[in-house]
């Protein structure tokens, strides 16, 4: 949202607040996955509506997205603080991780965590979770071409930025069986326009960009903003963003 190049050119200091919500966003990403696979909200609503027997016998209607996490593969595109923490939770649930990132940390590699190419990640993952920034290389990284490389049973999770996804391509894939489901906390336009195709797409779970908003994360955010301001006033800016 800020022209960093222009700010640097004119000597305007731009500071951010990194990693304040790594735990919060990662648990939300896994929460979206759990809701998609377990349908806890829908089952609760049905029981409250008196449909106990319907719940017991309606497994077929929820079959496309039900899965046990153990021995599944999660592909993580962008493995910084949030992506890494998502991987930690996923591995605790019995999943193996395929990660795609420009920076590879050898110390993270083990029997459950491997770096790989984007193509391999897309083709082998049961779940693909996005945790990368929007750049010229990642804008619309999820599109009809990349979706065609994924399993039709795969689930897409995005708690990063809406511009990573071509929304019309994703909606088409969901409606036509190209993907099983998607869990999105972010969209290209927020709030979405009424004609956003994802609002009516099959098995598309959308939340209003709240993955970051636990009280704990907000305290970290506000404290760090104050520290940034105090550091700037003291002539020692911190968390400065350069080109």
The span from the CA of 95 to the CA of 109, in Å, is 14
What lies within 8 Å, CB to CB, of 80 at 6+ separation is 101, 131, 132
Report whether 186 contacts 160 (CB < 8 A). yes
The span from the CA of 29 to the CA of 139, in Å, is 20
Q: pLDDT at position 60, please? A: 45
Q: Which fold has domain 22-51+64-213?
A: Rossmann fold (3.40.50)
Cβ neighbour number for residue 121 with a 10 Å cutoff: 24
5 is annotated as an active-site residue:
no
The span from the CA of 28 to the CA of 77, in Å, is 16
Q: Is residue 141 packed enough to be buried (19+ CB in 10 Å), middle (13-18) or exposed (0-12)? A: buried
Q: Is the pLDDT of residue 56 over 80?
A: no
209 is annotated as an active-site residue:
yes
The span from the CA of 68 to the CA of 82, in Å, is 23
Q: How much of the chain exceeds pLDDT 90, in percent?
A: 85
Q: Helices 22-38 and 81-92 sit at what angle, rounded to 10 degrees?
A: 40
76-105 pLDDT tens trace: 999 999 999 999 999 999 999 999 999 999
Q: Is the pLDDT of residue 59 over 80?
A: no
149-176 pLDDT tens trace: 999 999 999 999 999 999 999 999 999 9
Q: pLDDT at position 172, please? A: 98
- Which of 35, 209, 227, 238 is an active site residue? 209
Residues forming beta bridges with residue 99, ordered by sequence position: 76, 115
Q: How far apart are the first and last CA of the chain?
A: 14
The span from the CA of 158 to the CA of 219, in Å, is 24
Q: pLDDT at position 108, please? A: 92
Q: Is the pTM of this model over 0.85?
A: yes
The span from the CA of 82 to the CA of 161, in Å, is 13
- Which of 68, 70, 107, 190 is an active site residue? 190
- Which of 84, 96, 131, 161 is an active site residue? 161
The span from the CA of 204 to the CA of 122, in Å, is 19
124 is annotated as an active-site residue:
no
Q: What is the mean pLDDT of residues 187-213?
A: 96
Q: Which of 121, 117, 124, 129 is nearest to 88 (CA)?
A: 129
Residues of the chain within CATH 3.40.50.720 domain(s) are 22-51+64-213
């Amino acid at each position: 949202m800020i022209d960093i190049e222009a700010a640097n050119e004119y000597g305007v200091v731009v500071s951010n607040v990194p990693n304040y919500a790594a735990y919060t966003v990662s648990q939300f990403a896994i929460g979206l996955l759990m809701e998609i696979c377990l349908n806890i909200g829908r089952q609760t609503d049905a029981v409250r509506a008196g449909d106990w027997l319907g719940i017991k016998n309606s497994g077929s209607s929820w079959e496309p997205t039900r899965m046990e996490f153990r021995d599944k593969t999660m592909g993580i595109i962008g493995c910084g603080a949030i992506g890494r923490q998502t991987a930690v939770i996923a591995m605790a649930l019995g999943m193996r991780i395929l990660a795609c990132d420009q920076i590879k940390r050898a110390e993270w590699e083990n029997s459950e965590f491997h770096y790989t190419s984007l193509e391999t990640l897309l083709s082998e993952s049961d779940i693909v979770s996005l945790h990368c920034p929007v750049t010229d290389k990642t804008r619309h990284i999820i599109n009809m071409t990349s979706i065609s490389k994924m399993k039709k049973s795969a689930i897409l999770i995005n708690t990063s930025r809406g511009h990573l996804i071509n929304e019309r391509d994703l909606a088409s894939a969901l409606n036509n069986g190209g993907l099983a489901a998607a869990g999105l906390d972010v969209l290209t336009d927020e709030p979405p326009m009424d004609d956003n195709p994802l609002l009516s797409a099959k098995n598309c779970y959308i939340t209003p960009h709240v993955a970051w908003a636990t009280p704990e994360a907000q305290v970290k955010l506000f404290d760090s903003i104050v520290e940034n301001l105090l550091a700037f006033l003291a002539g020692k800016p911190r968390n400065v963003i350069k080109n």
